[in-house]
Amino acid sequence: MNLHIELDSSHPAYEWLEKQADKIGAKGHFGTHIDCYTSTPPQSRYQLPVYWLNCNPSMPTLEEVTLLPSLKGQALILYTGNMYRNDYGATSYFEVDTVLSDEVLFALLERGPSLILIDSYGIGQHGKDHIRKDMKCESAGCYVIENICITPEEVGQIKTIQVEFDLNYPSTGKPCKVTY
């Protein structure tokens, strides 16, 4: 089953893409993608066990994260319900708060996940905060995959995911496929 979204020129968010001066760079951040600002993952394909965290209705607290087990060699899914409730690219999609505080992010990274996947636009506020948090993940050997599509019924059933991306795509965002 696919967890990545497949978008074409008929999708309403495609209009945004067409207005960008750097269409190749923008396309890398369009739909389901992995952000790679300072480095790329060592592999272009992963098959990882999944640990998921329910972030619906709110993102985790430091207290909740400190209780998590080691996530070394795993993919962490942050399930917010945002993609399920709001159309990708709609104003309402970007109004949902899925920002992790620095303390929570650092505590998550201490647990050692290989990937963090989120069914939303990211783990930081748009702009510099978003990029800074993605770069912090990269420095810890963890990469963020944004805009996965997952239903409430699916999330608890997913035990392993497969991720595939083109590490040579000429953008800091690299489109990816996520399946289970």
| Cβ contact 137:116 at 8 Å | yes
Please answer whether residues 111 and 72 qualify as being in contact, where contact means their C-beta atoms are separated by less than 8 angstroms: yes
17-42 pLDDT per residue, tens: 788 888 778 888 889 999 999 999 99
The pTM of this model reads: 0.94
pLDDT of residue 1: 95
Predicted pLDDT of residue 173? 96
What SS3 class is residue 177? strand
Q: What is the pLDDT of the chain when averaged over all its residues? A: 94
In this prediction, residue 94 has a pLDDT band, given cuts at 50, 70 and 90, of: very high
Q: Is the pLDDT of residue 67 over 90?
A: yes
pLDDT digits (tens, 9 = 90+) for 127-170: 899 999 999 999 999 999 999 999 999 999 999 999 999 999 99
DSSP state of 101: P
**Rounded distance between C-alpha atoms, residue 121 and residue 80, angstroms:** 11
Superfamily of domain 21-157+165-179: Putative cyclase (3.50.30.50)
pLDDT confidence of residue 16? 75
Select the more confidently predicted residue: 22 or 13: 22
